[in-house]
Structure 1
Amino acid sequence: MIPPLLPAAADLQGRAPTLGVLGGGQLGRMFLHAAQQLGYETAVLDPDPASPAGRVAHAHLQAGYEDPQALQRLGGLAHAVTTEFENVPAMALKTLAAHVPVSPSGDAVAVCQHRAREKAFIQAAGVPCAPFADLVDETGLAAAAARPELFPGLLKTATLGYDGKGQRTVNGAADLAAAWADLGRAPCVLEKRLDLRVECSVIVARGRDGACVHLPLQQNLHRGGILAVTQVPAPDVSPGQAQAAVAAAERIAAALDYVGVLCVEFFVLADGSLVANEMAPRPHNSGHYSMDACDISQFELQVRTLAGLPLTPPRQHSPAVMLNLLGDLWFRDGADRPPRSPDWISVLALPGTRLHLYGKTDARPGRKMGHLNIIGADAAQVRAVALQACDLLGLPPF
């Protein structure tokens, strides 16, 4: 076991303990804020000079994720390293792990990077997921087309797809070849489209000693493949379904021998059954509400798992709604007009609103610019305020 990395302890060279992260996006930025609040120095490896995390880190190594010199420098600077996105090269994590504790491991991240491996792993862990088929060549195309139970379905690229990217709807076998060609004939997974009642997710944090805690189950609404709204407590998920989802997420984390924060997304089907959709080896958009509604946020949990600090079960002290804020909100006057900031003054005048902007230098449609948490004494009041915020921002109601 690696001893806990205590925030107040300097090493023999007088260095303050430093936590490193691969990736400079908003998840890295919020992780760094949580680490700094606990007294750690921080370091980021990201090629973007204006990355949100790089701009708030104690040290920003501006280089590619596979740059051997940058990895060597990060391994010498940081006492432990994590990642803020699943598409970081798994080999970079394995390279760093030879010199410094890394969590999650490169092997765990590699499973989450590939949809076919991910679904096979979820099934092997004893958790059901949607019926699927690999599609990597003409033979796989023919085999998938010959399985009528997979249609209507979704064809998804096996790697690099997120927020609805790299996906095509396939209504029948006759559409499959054209959809595959449209995705560049890249390795794909064909997944049966299920009759959904509600989407939800569970965030677990697992330490090196196997201790595991979780946030409350989140109910999620996606628009255009991008998370739009999260509600906690989940209004349309029964306690039994929530308990089953938490147990399944913890089982997957244990099977991965996972260390860190892991999000597992689930579907509750029309018949009430539960299936896993996918997982993210990092904090997740649906857990952002925890920054204001819980006594320990998902980002502090990430710090605790990385540094070997105690994992105490988070407590949600307030019902919450999280609204995702995309760059589209800056273009309400039209895409051909200069961007204009939303009316934050009116939004922040609403009770219980907590605005989190990510420090991105330019707004673009579809780009995640921030999120708005609304908390309050009861779920009905929180939802009512959230709907007022939606009206002020020009977001559709939920």
Structure 2
Amino acid sequence: MTALPLPPGSTLGILGGGQLGRMLALAAARLGLDVAVLERDADSPAGQVSNHTIVGAYDDPAALEKLAAVARVVTFEFENVPAQSVLTLQKLGCEVAPGAEALAVAQDRVAEKQFLNAAGAPTVAFSSADSADEAVAAATAMGAPVLMKTRREGYDGKGQRWIEHAADAADAFEVLGRVPVILEAPADFVRELSVIAARGRDGETAIYPLAENHHEGGVLRRSLAPAEVSAALAEQAEKIARRVLDGLNYVGVIGIELFELKDGRLLVNEIAPRVHNSGHWTQDGCSVDQFEQHVRAVAGWPLGPTEPHARIEMLNLLGDEADQWAKYAHDPDARLHLYGKRQAKPGRKMGHVNRLRRL
């Protein structure tokens, strides 16, 4: 197996070539590491700034062999990487982090909720259904309205439907493709928060301050961090984060989305076993951002500090909003991060802006 910590001059492998992979590659380069990206697109955002691009499907055995030949440690930028690919890389002698358990839990929303509850991280009530009849029965038992989501895949508001009446669950099941689903009770929340946390190979943890998140159409629009929260709420979030990290024997950075209820309790909405959109504020608000933190963790390095030195408003740039780059470049308090995507599409994340507010 790979000797850790991974020394400078070594190669880190990344499954996935999107914007998260790009920012991971840039962070790795600052630490003196080379990067090899496995991605289907030869001109991917991450590939543009990496030492090697291996073009192929994430489950292509030949492509995985090429990655294992150059990379001693491999990570991934999104959770829909096939679990078999992780096992294949491990058989080829690679260290892969986060591990297969975290990937399996995050890929199935029912397994995710079951894990969270077992770990002492509370969630909304939920039920599963594998057919239209089961969906109607579950919605009836839970009491509408309920939110129906596909158990697998789906992101940024995709793969989900609100059910206002139990009888409508059958139609929603059809619309979602007649695949296994989860039904979730609504959360009576006052705001959406998230916590970015990291765990090293030695069990060391590092937790960033909470971010307050605002969504539009199921897509994160902006985050404010550090969020204005009480010490008790921050402590509650940190306790949840540590339970999740330890329960998964996790290595790397994880994003945990939370609902703050009217009574001050926190519920976990979902977890993402990777760097997270709501953690982009750390790039300009902390001395060690979430991307460097993730590289440090998976490479076996010590974790870095998480204390903020600025309050940040992070704004996602969607579609042709990135064409306003000159405006942000003229703003002395704005820090522009563009992803190198060649084509702007409506709703597509093209970049983000961090606007500084000194503490």
- Assess same fold via TM > 0.5: yes
Matches within 5 A, 1:329-368: 329=321, 341-342=323-324, 344-368=325-349
Name the larger-Rg structure: 1
Q: Which residue of 2 aligns with 1:146?
A: 140
Deviations 1:23-47 (A, max 9, x none): 0000000000000111111100001
Q: Which runs of 5+ in 1 are unaligned?
A: 8-15, 331-340, 379-398
Residue 107 of structure 1: CA displacement?
A: 2.0
Q: CA RMSD in A?
A: 1.4
- Higher relative strand content: 2
Contact preservation (8 Å) 2:132, 2:170: no
Could you list the per-position Cα deviations for residues 173-205 of structure 1 after superposition, in whole angstroms to 9, with x for gaps in the alignment? 121111111111111101011211010111111
In structure 2, runs of 5+ residues without a counterpart are: none
Q: Which residue of 1 aligns with 2:264?
A: 272
TM-score (norm 1): 0.87
Corresponding residue to 1:289 among 281, 288, 302:
281
1:123-160 Cα shifts (integer Å, max 9, x gaps): 010111011100112553243033144x2111001111
Matched residue SS, 2:26: helix
Match of 2:239 among 241, 244, 247: 247
Matches within 5 A, 1:90-109: 90-98=83-91, 99-109=93-103
> Partner residue of 1:323?
315
The CA deviation at 1:377 is 1.8
Counterpart contact for 1:2–1:308, Cα < 8 Å: no
TM-score normalised by L of structure 2: 0.96
Instruction: Spell out the pairing of 1:1-398 with structure 2 (5 A cutoff).
Output: 2-7=3-8, 16-98=9-91, 99-138=93-132, 140-149=134-143, 151-235=144-228, 237-329=229-321, 341-342=323-324, 344-378=325-359
Q: Could you tell me whether the CA contact under 8 Å between 2:102 and 2:248 is conserved in 1?
A: yes
Q: Distance between the aligned counterparts of 1:315 and 1:273, measured in 2?
A: 24
Match of 1:381 in 2: none
Question: In structure 2, what is the Cα distance between the partners aligned to 1:21 and 1:168?
Answer: 33
1:292 Cα deviation from its structure 2 partner: 0.8
Identity %: 48
Give me the whole-angstrom Cα distance separating, in 1, the residues matched to 2:355 and 2:75.
29
Between 357-366 and 346-355, report the one with greater CA deviation.
Answer: 346-355
* Structure 1 segments (4+ residues) deviating >2 Å: 137-143, 344-351
2-side partners of 1:38 and 1:46: how far apart? 23
Task: Give the 3-state SS of the residue equivalent to 1:74 in structure 2.
Answer: helix
